[in-house]
Structure 1
Amino acid sequence: MSAESGPSTEWTRQRERSNLLALTLMRWIAMALGRRVARGVLHPITLYFLLTGGAASRASRQYLTQVLGRPPRWAERYRHVHHFAATILDRVYLLQRRYEAFEITVTNPHLLLDQVRAGRGAMLAGAHIGSFEVLRSLGEDMKDLRVAMLMFEDNARQINATLRAIAPDTPLHVIALGRMSAMLELRAWLDSNGVAGLLADRTLRAPGTTAMQRGGVHRLNFLGQPASFSDGPFRLAMMLRRPLLFMAGLYHGAHRYELRFLEIADFSQRPTDGATSEVVLQRAVQRYVEILEGICHETPHNWFNFFDFWADDDADTSPQT
């Protein structure tokens, strides 16, 4: 199986189509009913998903078994799916900058704000945890905060169309990977003090991407079993010589969110121990995985990768460590 047409590519396309359908439905519910009533609608949606979700429902159960160390109870499975549905609904209001509807706390905001205030821009590696859109709430305190998402071109076009339908007046910027100009565009965005984020908890094999953009795949222990993690996002930060931060918008139920920042690696500095670039890269990937694993243990219902995350579908095409 070629690296350009593997199951990860098909999963990515399938998931983005599903996200678009879910987001379109949630937009209608959110705008027609209001948040209080719309949240009530989430319960039958959650129940329907659990009863008919098929592979995604099984994947949720598998993940919860890994993170809890035992088979999940029905209530725990329900809470996992409900958290996902709630964040999709809230994404509509967050994109419309209706932050007054939420209680948002920020942990370690200085890690990001110090870089932005110094005019250096910032690179963020997130995960399919909670809501990335919570990051935009910082713009209320920093009016010049500009946020871009990095994603592959086909997904970018689809996501952009839906998000602009939800929030036509909200500045949305997507840097599409898979093009030769993507690196130059990203560098220019950071040099102009922009913030760029991407989700690093999935290996990607998109058509048209170069080996450098995809990076290598590392098999690392995650929640008790080896799982595949791409070093592409970390290699990108290393090539641009930028500090890389972990960011997650954790959902804590009702209207409560926590925006959390943690250090991954500072690729703008030379290692003090003389480590090679590949060793520095491996350390950064390992650090990311450790952060992600810790958050999953801390708040297990926030991670929304609804597929077999531990499947070794890249083993024949990518280097492993």
Structure 2
Amino acid sequence: MQADDKARESASPEWTAKPERSNLLAIRFIVWVALALGRPVARLFLYPTSLYYMLVAGEARAASKQYLRKALGREPRIGDGFRHIHAFAATILDRVFLLNGRFDKFDVRVHLDDTARNMLVQRRGCILLGAHLGSFEITRAYAHEIQGPPASVVMYEENARKLNSVLQAINPELTQQVIGLGKVDSMLKVRQALERGEFIGMLADRGLEQDGASVTCDFLGAPARFPSGPLRMAYMLKCPVLLMVGVYRGGNRYDLHFEELADMADPALPRDELIGRTQQRYVMRLEHFCRSAPYNWFNFYDFWKP
């Protein structure tokens, strides 16, 4: 391994080094069980799966405990850890139904602020900033229900390749909705989608950026690093930015929240100040949802590691 390769490896955040715990055969089996036997039967598998994960995934279990201690404001019990992992498993299973258009199986309650409502009416393209909190896929259910604009997901090329492999196993028609960063035409595709009035979804709680492209914010009482790349992209494209959170409430219920974070076309503030304020608001809202729905945070690694 060359020196620069070693440097890149050592600079990569911890979550990128986690091994993949699934493979395409397992995914196809889960898809078959879910679609052939139905959601109630498939959900029975969540209990042994969650228990197995608790027993064998020591680092994830420790990370869950670290997070829950901050979110709950008390020492988490064994039942809290199981509930945390079970909620994660439930949202993964629900992806199978959501990505195959089985929206009728879910009770989705939508909460829009005035800005988000106006953007839907005006069909104005915008960037949706999400996180590994709840379900990102539930947005498709809402878009389908209101016949809203198409939505594409933007992510780093390696993650896009992995996601496309999963989508290929679940529903091959959806692979075209993933835009991988790092290609010559990546930004052009994003700009064209925004000009067509489409939504561009990005997860903004993890990143591959170096220290210079991240911002440290207070999150649940301790400093944590958040990538600034998504907001820098939004500023460059001069587009509105909304927070999107699909909170899993148990059973078949999801609460979907759309909230304004900033309009990057507004020249009222200098670039760095506007990005900084928007980043802080994003983190504050994540903190709000982590406290109100603590078992929905799905970053199973040491998120506060310097």
The alignment's TM-score, normalised by the length of structure 2, stands at: 0.91
8 Å contact kept, 1:247–1:261: yes
Deviation string 1:121-160 (CA, Å, 9 cap, x unpaired) is 1210000011111101123334352110011112212211
User: What amino acid is the match of 2:135?
Assistant: S
**Aligned position for 1:121:** 125
**Aligned position for 2:279:** 285
Deviation string 1:150-174 (CA, Å, 9 cap, x unpaired) is 1111221221132132123457511
Provide runs of 4+ in structure 1 moved above 4 Å.
Answer: 19-25, 169-172
The percent identity for this pair of structures is: 43
**Aligned position for 1:317:** none
Query: Alpha-carbon deviation of 1:51?
Result: 1.2
8 Å contact kept, 2:14–2:301: no
C-alpha distance in structure 2 between counterparts of 1:120 and 1:51, whole Å? 47
Higher helix share: 2
C-alpha distance in structure 2 between counterparts of 1:53 and 1:25, whole Å? 22
User: What amino acid is the match of 1:304?
Assistant: F
C-alpha distance in structure 2 between counterparts of 1:27 and 1:215, whole Å? 41
**Aligned position for 2:64:** 60
8 Å contact kept, 1:251–1:258: yes
**Aligned position for 2:87:** 83
C-alpha distance in structure 2 between counterparts of 1:26 and 1:112, whole Å? 35
Deviation string 1:212-239 (CA, Å, 9 cap, x unpaired) is xx96211111111110011111111111
Query: Alpha-carbon deviation of 1:68?
Result: 1.5
Query: Alpha-carbon deviation of 1:194?
Result: 1.2
SS of aligned partner of 1:76: helix
SS of aligned partner of 1:132: coil
Per mean C-alpha deviation after superposition, the further-off stretch among 102-111 and 237-246 is 102-111
The alignment's TM-score, normalised by the length of structure 1, stands at: 0.87
**Aligned position for 2:242:** 245
C-alpha distance in structure 2 between counterparts of 1:256 and 1:107, whole Å? 13
C-alpha distance in structure 2 between counterparts of 1:68 and 1:36, whole Å? 29
Cα 1:24–1:127 shift into 2, 3 Å: farther
Say if 2:274 is the partner of 1:257: no
**Aligned position for 1:47:** 51
8 Å contact kept, 2:128–2:200: yes
8 Å contact kept, 1:23–1:89: no
**Aligned position for 2:265:** 268
User: What amino acid is the match of 1:264?
Assistant: L
Q: Please, what is the CA RMSD of the aligned residues?
A: 2.3
The number of aligned residues is 301
Query: Alpha-carbon deviation of 1:267?
Result: 0.8
Cα 1:70–1:23 shift into 2, 3 Å: farther
Say if 2:201 is the partner of 1:204: no
Question: Paired residue for 1:294, among 266, 288, 292?
Answer: 288
User: What amino acid is the match of 2:224?
Assistant: A
